[in-house]
Amino acid sequence: MPSKRFELVFADKTGKVFNFPGLRPAGMKAGMLFELEDAPLVRLPDSSELFMLPDRMPVGFDPETGKQVTLDMDPYSKQAEPCFAVAAFVPPGYTLTHNAAYRQLADDARALPLFAYGACLYSEGHFYVAAVRVDHDVRHDDKYLAPRSVLKGVAEVKKLFPKNRLVTQLETCATVNGCANAKNFFLGRIEAPVPTSPVCNAQCQGCISLQPENRDFPSTQKRISFKPDPEEIAELALHHFTNEKNPVVSFGQGCEGEPTLAVDVIEKAIRLIRKQTSKGFINVNSNASRPQALGRLFDAGLTHVRVSLNSVRDPYYSRYYQPKGYSFADVTESVRTAKRHQGFVSLNYLSMPGFTDSREESDALVQFVGGTGVDMIQWRNLNYDPIRYFRELGLEGARPELLGMENAIDRVRKAFPAMRCGYFNPRPGTRPASQANKNLV
Ligand code: SF4
């Protein structure tokens, strides 16, 4: 969009959002500021949200001098009143290329809660975000998840399975926590979630289901407090398999710990399901810390695994995941185990502009994919405070060579043309994402 003139966006002290033509907008990566003129920009997608960032002042560029300017006062207020940076939170399917640009009022600024913070800008009546679209699947699109239909589905499923504790769990997920996968289960649509594990063997800095009490931000979900029986799991999965022509059921959800720690029940449940049907995909979203457990699940009938990681480099993986009793070598071994079982392996590649698109990380990713035969990369936004992330990784003040997120994605796409790129787990009956996405970035 070369001819458009973009303007900075800020919030006043009440949270009202304004555009400000006096400054050109900036994006941030690894604490550095960038012009957004040549960045990939998309009109703010439906279902996006705008966040006002407390304790953080917006930063832009002076259109005359090109110098960085911190907007430390509300330019539209007659009194000297503060103003705040604004970030865009985008729906699944879009990968951020730049974070919102801001300067913290103090080093001890309140931590940002567990969301992703995209650079937001304005032009001619519309908001834009620095992002690329990597997936067109409408799986989580609010348009298809009407609350009334979800509630109807909840009532029907509860009547069918009044004693199934997983149904009660998913009811809360769908109606209180707004989980799109849980809503889809009650709508008999695409991918159904199966949370199973109340415990984990990692302590991710940005774990959304459990944070230590002394942390200065909360987890965004409550972790499941029980381990369901294999029969409860199979009942729910088989119900979904009868409702959806091309179904997926997925272990490993945002409201649980690590599913391979519940291998005993999941293995039995998969065998119960596979006794009844060979249709559909059975997937596990995992930290992939336990290759042997994963092997058992594939032997039972698992078809897909999605391996979550923020980095394919051990030190940065370990600083973020804080693994307990396993190491990054086990993650790599899990990928190999899955491939030996003819399983489909996705990476849930938790991306942060400035880290994921650094030359070093990109080189390491090409090597990792080439060495393991990963089938798909899901370029998902990491929900974490963008300044604090670099501090946690020991990279504060680092000035990495940056390729640009769109180029980092393109690079692996070109290096491995048969590999899929996207955002969602594959489902039966869809064409390969590598073809579907050819012209998206
Ligand atoms: S692996 Fe998942 S459940 Fe475990 S700490 Fe990390 S985010 Fe939380």
- pLDDT tens for 236-246 read 999 999 999 99
CA angle 52, 53, 57 (to 5 degrees): 110
Determine the 3-state secondary structure of 172 from DSSP: helix
pLDDT score for 439: 31
By mean pLDDT, which of 162-176, 190-204, 209-223 is the weakest? Answer: 209-223
Residue type, 198: P
The tens digit of pLDDT for each residue in 11-41 reads 999 999 999 999 999 999 999 999 998 899 9
Q: What confidence score (pLDDT) does residue 66 get?
A: 94
- Mean pLDDT (the chain) is 94
Residue 356 has pLDDT above 50, yes or no: yes
Provide CATH 3.20.20.70 ranges for the chain: 142-436
Ligand 1 binding pocket (C-beta < 6 A) is 200, 202-204, 207, 209, 257-258, 287
What is the structure's pLDDT at 12? 97
Closest atom of ligand 1 to CA, residue 210 = 8
> What's the confidence (pLDDT) of residue 217?
86
Mean pLDDT on 320-340: 98
Give the position, in ligand 1's atom list, of the atom nearest the Cα of 257: 3
How many residues belong to the chain? 441
Q: Which of 211, 258, 350 to mutate to test the pocket of ligand 1 (most atoms within 8 A of CB)?
A: 258
Strand order in the sheet with 248-251: 191-194, 248-251, 281-286, 304-309, 344-351, 376-381, 420-422
The pair of three-digit structure tokens given for residue 305, joined into one six-digit string: 């695994």
pLDDT tens, residue by residue, 357-376: 999 999 999 999 999 999 99
User: What number does the ligand 1 atom closest to the CA of 202 have?
Assistant: 5
Q: What is the pLDDT of residue 2?
A: 52
Q: Which two tokens stand for residue 224?
A: 């499941």
Topology at the third CATH level for domain 142-436: TIM Barrel (3.20.20)
pLDDT for residue 435: 38
State what percent of residues in the chain have pLDDT above 90.
89
- Determine what percent of the chain is predicted with pLDDT higher than 70: 97
Mean pLDDT, residues 96-106 = 94
- At 47-58, the pLDDT tens digits run 899 999 999 999
- End-to-end CA separation in angstroms for the chain: 14
Distances in Å between the alpha carbon of 272 and those of 134, 178, 315, 413? 35, 29, 40, 38
Say if residue 314's pLDDT is above 70: yes
Residue of 256, 252, 260, 253 lying closest to 289 (CA atoms): 260
Confidence at residue 436, expressed as pLDDT on a 0 to 100 scale: 35
Is the per-residue pLDDT at 328 higher than 60? yes
For residue 441, pLDDT over 50 is answered with no
Q: What is the pTM of this model?
A: 0.94
Q: Which residues contact 122 (CB under 8 A, 6 or more apart)?
A: 6, 7, 8, 9, 19, 25, 128
| pLDDT surpassing 60 at residue 394 | yes
Q: Can you tell me the mean pLDDT for 63-76?
A: 95
Q: How far is the CA of 427 from the centre of ligand 1 (A)?
A: 24
Average pLDDT over residues 170-195: 95
What is the CA(210)–ligand 1 centre distance, in A?
8
328's enclosing H/E stretch is helix 328-340
pLDDT in tens, 238-296: 999 999 999 999 999 989 999 999 999 999 999 999 999 999 999 999 999 999 999 99
What is the atom index within ligand 1 of the atom nearest the CA of 209?
Answer: 8
